[in-house]
Amino acid sequence: MPKLPPFALMNERPPRKTKPLHLLIFFAVFALPLFLIHLQLLSLPYFWDELGQFVPTALDLLRSGAIVAHSAIPNVHPPGVAAYLALCYKLFGFSVIVTRMAMLAVGACGLLLTFLLAIELSRGARGAPAFLPPLLLLVSPLFFTQSMMAQLDMPAMVFTLLALLLFVKREYAWAAAVCVVLVLVKETGIVTPFVFFCVLVQRKDWKRAAWFAGSAVALFLWLVILHAKTGYWLGDPDFARYNVNYALRPARMVIALLRRLFYLGVAEMRLVGTVVLLGTVATCKVFHTRDWALVVMVGGFNILLVSVLGGAELERYLLPALPLFYIAVSVGLTALPKRIMIAATAVMILSLAFFIGWNPPYPFPFENNYAMVDFLHLQEAAATYAEQNLRDRKIATAWPYTGALRNSDMGFVQHRIKTVETHDLHYSSVKAIAPERFDTLITYTREWVPAPSVTDNQFVRGFLKRFYQWEPDISPEQCEALGLQETVSWSMRGQTVAIYSRKP
């Protein structure tokens, strides 16, 4: 059970009350710039897990009332986000734009809650540091992309912040209720009510601690429903193997944790913020409260859990911890001389905004910045070409692009195209498909690999093959060896989509 450090036992002032009108005003202040910077992207079709998992799950709930998906592989992810999207579709109709607007509204709530939590956690600090964390979040590449995407991590961030805010304001019953919603949005959210439960048990507040056990009960009931529908506690055995068994290797967990710490505390010039914290946390009295000890535990346990579980090791899993880091940095900045504070703030804001459009010189998921937009424009171009010229062909390609070609709901095509699906685009995977099953192959860049790349090193390749089953994607020369000739291709900022046809 986590214990509060000794310095966290200081007496604190009672929390402030916030008027509803003020909340509405500040929500509008944060929502307006968020919607404006995404205005040109509202019709962007669905990306990766959106089209492969989350949007089909919401449509199953909307159209057939199915709480467990049947148009996508069912898995442990709870139905909270699907229910929210299904409600939006019921009210406003189903479309890509409705989806984007619905998720941006959630993102705007995240900015507001970051601001409100920063107000509570920065009491006693110089100036008005609460305005900086939502600004840093707004210009962060990961928040920029995730705030418009139909995925679980942005809503999980929002409900984590709300639960933490209510707990800090001593609204324990409401915090417990929000935690129930949190675990029904994303299962890893269980770590937040676990921390609250342990803190209240340590205080010997048994009654209020019991309230937070309700989150575990809610999550367990979801697992019971999932097991009853699928026969598996996590919904799909392959999903369980990849995200639990496969992830629980010591080397993978260490690498995942290091990757988490690097992204949160170093990447995109957040190193400036880390240096600020290292230089101020010991002397800044604002940090020496039990509220800040609670924040550290919630953020730390979230980071640890997503380092242990989750085969994909995606940076979006860190979203619940990201605003907590920015709040801490903002408080730390107030303890510095004014010139240094201004310089450090400017460097962080400008650097984060720069990284929205600049790809780092190492592999990263496209969904971390504007590379996601390039990816979707390329896939749109290939889908349009396939619909106009290849509707009578059998097309082989990798999940989830098959869903883009099969399902007109996903925003890529108007008519279903026949596809043969592979899990990836490795040479061995394509070669394993019987030649008579397909006559066209669509390849696309599935991960950012700059040239030169760390994967060019033989030691790195050996490590990745051993612990991550890594293989390079099929090359044009290997396509030629399989009797496939390039018909057309599109490239954009280091990404490529190519269509190959079988030679007569």
Give the range of the structural domain holding residue 471, as residue numbers without chain letter: 370-502
In this structure, are 275 and 327 located in the same domain?
yes
- pLDDT-based confidence at 288, cuts 50/70/90? very high
Residue 327 is predicted with a pLDDT of 98
Asked whether residue 2 is domain-assigned, the answer is no
Instruction: Give yes or no for residue 469 having a pLDDT over 90.
Output: no
In this structure, are 353 and 376 located in the same domain?
no
Q: Are 436 and 442 in contact (CB under 8 A)?
A: no
Residue 448 is predicted with a pLDDT of 86
Q: Are 324 and 145 in contact (CB under 8 A)?
A: no
Backbone angles phi, psi at 464, to 5 degrees: -65, -40
CATH number of domain containing 453: 3.40.50
* Number of independent structural domains in the chain: 2
Instruction: Report the sign of the C-alpha dihedral through residues 496, 363, 187, 208, in that order.
Output: negative
Residue 290 is predicted with a pLDDT of 93
In this structure, are 438 and 359 located in the same domain?
no
**For the segment 234-265, what is each residue's pLDDT rounded down to a tens digit?**
888 887 777 766 666 777 888 889 999 999 99
Asked whether residue 95 is domain-assigned, the answer is yes
Mean pLDDT confidence for 442-453: 85
Task: Tell me the one-letter amino acid at 437.
Answer: R
Domain-terminating residue out of 328, 349, 366:
366
In this structure, are 324 and 397 located in the same domain?
no
Q: Could you tell me which residues come within 8 angstroms of residue 80 by beta carbon, excluding any fewer than 6 positions away?
A: 155, 181, 184, 185, 186
In this structure, are 377 and 471 located in the same domain?
yes
Instruction: Give yes or no for residue 415 having a pLDDT over 50.
Output: yes
Instruction: Give yes or no for residue 155 having a pLDDT over 70.
Output: yes
Q: Are 193 and 172 in contact (CB under 8 A)?
A: no
Vertex 268, ends 263 and 269: CA angle to 5°?
105
Q: Are 416 and 57 in contact (CB under 8 A)?
A: no
Vertex 85, ends 115 and 234: CA angle to 5°?
95
Dihedral-angle region of residue 368 (phi above 0 means left; psi in -120 to 50 means alpha; beta otherwise):
alpha
Asked whether residue 5 is domain-assigned, the answer is no
Asked whether residue 205 is domain-assigned, the answer is yes
In this structure, are 319 and 400 located in the same domain?
no
In this structure, are 356 and 379 located in the same domain?
no
Among 500, 445, 447, residue whose Cα is nearest residue 476: 500
Asked whether residue 10 is domain-assigned, the answer is no
**For the segment 129-154, what is each residue's pLDDT rounded down to a tens digit?**
999 999 999 999 999 999 999 999 99
Residue 462 is predicted with a pLDDT of 78
Domain-terminating residue out of 337, 366, 395:
366
Asked whether residue 7 is domain-assigned, the answer is no
Asked whether residue 201 is domain-assigned, the answer is yes
In this structure, are 333 and 391 located in the same domain?
no
**pTM, two decimal places:** 0.93
In this structure, are 309 and 392 located in the same domain?
no
In this structure, are 262 and 402 located in the same domain?
no
**For the segment 156-207, what is each residue's pLDDT rounded down to a tens digit?**
999 999 999 999 999 999 999 999 999 999 999 999 999 999 999 999 999 9
Residue 15 is predicted with a pLDDT of 56
Domain-terminating residue out of 316, 348, 366:
366
Tokens of 282: 């010991």
What value does the mean pLDDT of the chain take?
Answer: 92
Asked whether residue 283 is domain-assigned, the answer is yes
- pLDDT-based confidence at 2, cuts 50/70/90? low
Q: Could you tell me which residues come within 8 angstroms of residue 54 by beta carbon, excluding any fewer than 6 positions away?
A: 81, 82, 85, 150, 151, 152
In this structure, are 321 and 454 located in the same domain?
no
Q: Are 470 and 449 in contact (CB under 8 A)?
A: no
In this structure, are 135 and 255 located in the same domain?
yes
Instruction: Give yes or no for residue 345 having a pLDDT over 70.
Output: yes
Measure Cα distances from 220 to 179, 180, 223, 308 in Å: 14, 11, 5, 20
